[in-house]
Amino acid sequence: MGRSGVSRRAGLGLILVAVLLSACATTTADTEIRKLEARSAYEAGVKSISEGRVSLGLASLRQAVEVDPTNALYHNAVGAVLLNVGRAPEAQVEFQKAVELDPTYGDAYHNLGSSLAEQGKWEEAIGAYKKALAQPVYASPESTYNNLGYAYWALDRRTEAEEAFRAALQLEPKLVPSHFWLGVLLQKEGRGDEARQHLRAARDLEPTSLLGQRASEVLKALGDGG
């Protein structure tokens, strides 16, 4: 009977292991299905946005977040759409969630900074931009340096603003916003010759853009219409 009892317990153990393995396999399969569903919703959202169907695209992106709330990419995408349509506080929430999920997500830190800047939260924006720039792998530091410069400019911290704009131009010499704002800053500082150089660059690089046209107007006001 002793041996029989041991045998029955071993049999039950094997059954239990089989049940657990089956449950794990089912859980893994369900997880993969949810990830595929979320990815499909994300891709549908991106496609709709590219076609100008913003509301539909946002709905699809929100669905991706709902199905897979642990994916930082989806939160960042929702935030980007919200920021683009002027809903900065809601966008901030999504970007904050994205960087919580992935503390190395440079683009999400940049976007978080932009959502804060849109609300006039300049100090917080500066902190977010600096975190973006601190990431070892980040594709667009020139844009972040430009935005960082503007945040400093908004706080009248001109030396730091100038350094940031120059850092942006060091990385991308044709970055029109940095040329424009650096030109305006230098003009305010009484450094007219250098200011004109950057304003001309902004005008000549993008003569039909808003900043290119504004640069032309500032130059005319400075007596430089050429």
Q: Is residue 89 pLDDT above 60, yes or no?
A: yes
Q: Are 211 and 177 in contact (CB under 8 A)?
A: yes
Residue-averaged pLDDT of the chain: 90
Q: How far apart are CA 213 and CA 220, in angstroms?
A: 11
Domain limits, the chain: 32-139, 142-226
Alpha helix locations (H) across the chain?
2-50, 54-67, 72-84, 88-101, 106-118, 122-133, 141-154, 158-171, 176-188, 192-205, 210-221
Confidence (pTM): 0.84
What's residue 26's pLDDT?
A: 62
The mean pLDDT of 148-153, rounded to a whole number, is 98
The mean pLDDT of 148-162, rounded to a whole number, is 97
142-226 shares the fold of 32-139: yes
Q: Is residue 37 pLDDT above 50, yes or no?
A: yes
Contacts of 159-164 spanning 24+ positions with Cβ under 8 A: 161/185, 162/186
What's residue 16's pLDDT?
A: 64
CATH of segment(s) 142-226: 1.25.40.10
Judged by average pLDDT, the poorest of 28-32, 59-63, 142-146, 197-201 is: 28-32
Q: Could you tell me the CATH superfamily of domain 32-139?
A: Tetratricopeptide repeat domain (1.25.40.10)
Q: Is residue 152 pLDDT above 80, yes or no?
A: yes
What DSSP designation does 190 have? T
What's residue 222's pLDDT?
A: 87
Q: How far apart are CA 148 and CA 141, in angstroms?
A: 10
The mean pLDDT of 47-63, rounded to a whole number, is 93
